[in-house]
């Protein structure tokens, strides 16, 4: 098989021929049809992700395709089944090994590209908003990076949960994308002050103290501004640090305003809460099948051009979701 292999952290991957993988106990091998591209792919290549592979590896955390082989002790999965899965890494390849526990069957009415594009982004937003922040109808939710792969799903999920959404994005085009996907109010952070505008909008919604929830995949100055426009009892959701700066939270503000800072790492949450994971992923798959959510796939790349997708993620020109597609995948 062909795979993009990184031999050492900090080095660029190269597309090379590799031996076909062989599943071990509790594992399957998937012929990859599509692989979603995430900001975390850039981090794992630098050795800055929560999980660090030992030895050469391929990035790629969410895939869809068909089962090629199954290992010992695997039940309920057969060769040829259409599936989606969340491998530890390895999706930038024609085949990938995944734990059978992460594999979810796909019906014929779910396209491979949609299945690969929605697992991590929608999973992150749905689980943190519904099961960690406990969003209720009427909550005011501030979503940062709202035109990106994760932020855009947060806008949609918050609206499905009955929230009023204030979105931030950079530039008129990205702001329009957030608006088109349901944001009630949009702030262009390139020309507007986030803290001041959020306070104005919240006041217009009858809540001058600020917002109830902040969904932040950016960190840095964005987090600092957000902390100063939240209502008492607000929940600050720490999704990631795309700005490159991890905020140092002033605990006195959390204390005085009874604010909760909630970290959320999707992969660990699934491992730590298997029952909720199964329930939530079933909910999301049904929302996908019913058309209530639909990944905005802004670009599809052949395997040979996967590094172009990563570059679009690095320089923050990507909107929505990027997907790597194998030939003949539907």
On whether the 137-264 domain is CATH 3.40.50.720, my answer is yes
81-138 per-position pLDDT tens digit? 999 999 999 999 999 999 998 899 999 999 999 999 999 999 999 999 999 999 999 9
The whole-model pTM stands at 0.89
102-117 per-position pLDDT tens digit? 899 999 999 999 999 9
Indicate the pLDDT class of residue 243, thresholds 50, 70 and 90: confident
pLDDT at 178: 95
pLDDT at 329: 65
Domain boundaries, the chain: 2-117+295-325, 137-264
Task: Give me the residue label for tokens 């992923």.
Answer: 281
Task: Give me the residue label for tokens 């030939």.
Answer: 327
**Which of 297, 298, 239 has its CA nearest to residue 267?**
239
CATH pick for 2-117+295-325 out of 3.90.180.10, 3.40.50.460, 3.40.50.11540, 3.40.50.2300: 3.90.180.10
Q: Which helix (H) or strand (E) holds 67?
A: strand 62-70
Indicate the pLDDT class of residue 244, thresholds 50, 70 and 90: confident
> Residue 19: CB partners within 8 Å, gap ≥ 6?
1
Torsion sign (Cα): 296, 229, 206, 203: negative
Q: C-alpha distances in angstroms, 257 versus 27, 274, 316?
A: 47, 33, 33
d(CA 106, CA 136) in angstroms, rounded, equals: 30
13-45 per-position pLDDT tens digit? 999 999 999 999 999 999 999 999 999 999 999
Q: How many of the other CB atoms lie within 10 Å of CB of 222?
A: 24
Report the b/e string of 77-106 with b at 16+ CB within 10 A.
Answer: eeeebbbbbbbbbbbbbbbbbbbbbbbbeb
């Amino acid at each position: 098989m062909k795979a993009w292999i990184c031999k050492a952290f900090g080095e660029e991957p190269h597309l090379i021929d590799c031996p076909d993988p062989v599943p071990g106990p509790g594992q399957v091998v998937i012929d990859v049809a599509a692989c979603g591209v995430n900001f975390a792919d850039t981090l794992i290549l630098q050795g800055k992700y929560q999980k660090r592979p030992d030895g050469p590896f391929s990035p790629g955390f969410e895939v869809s395709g068909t089962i090629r082989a199954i290992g010992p002790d695997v039940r309920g999965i057969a060769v040829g089944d259409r599936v989606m899965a969340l491998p530890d890494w390895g999706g930038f390849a024609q085949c990938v090994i995944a734990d059978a526990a992460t594999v979810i069957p796909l019906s014929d009415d779910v396209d491979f590209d949609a299945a690969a594009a929605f697992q991590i982004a929608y999973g992150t937003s749905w689980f943190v908003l519904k099961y960690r922040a406990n969003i209720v109808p009427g909550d005011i939710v501030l979503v940062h990076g709202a035109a990106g792969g994760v932020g855009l799903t947060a806008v949609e999920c918050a609206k499905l949960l009955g929230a009023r959404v204030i979105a931030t994005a950079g530039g008129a085009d990205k702001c329009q994308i957030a608006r088109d996907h349901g944001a009630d109010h949009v702030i262009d952070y390139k020309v507007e002050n986030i803290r001041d505008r959020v306070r104005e909008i919240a006041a217009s919604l009858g809540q001058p103290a600020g917002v109830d929830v902040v969904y932040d995949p950016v960190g840095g100055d964005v987090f600092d501004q957000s902390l100063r426009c939240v209502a008492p009892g607000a929940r600050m959701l720490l999704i990631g640090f795309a700005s490159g700066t991890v905020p140092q939270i002033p605990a006195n503000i959390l204390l005085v305003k009874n604010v909760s800072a909630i970290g959320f790492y999707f992969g660990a949450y699934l491992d730590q809460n298997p029952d909720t994971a199964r329930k939530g992923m079933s909910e999301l798959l049904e929302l996908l099948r019913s058309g209530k959510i639909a990944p905005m796939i802004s670009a599809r790349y052949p395997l040979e051009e996967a590094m172009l997708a990563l570059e679009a993620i690095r320089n923050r020109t990507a909107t929505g979701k990027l997907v790597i597609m194998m030939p003949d995948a539907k």
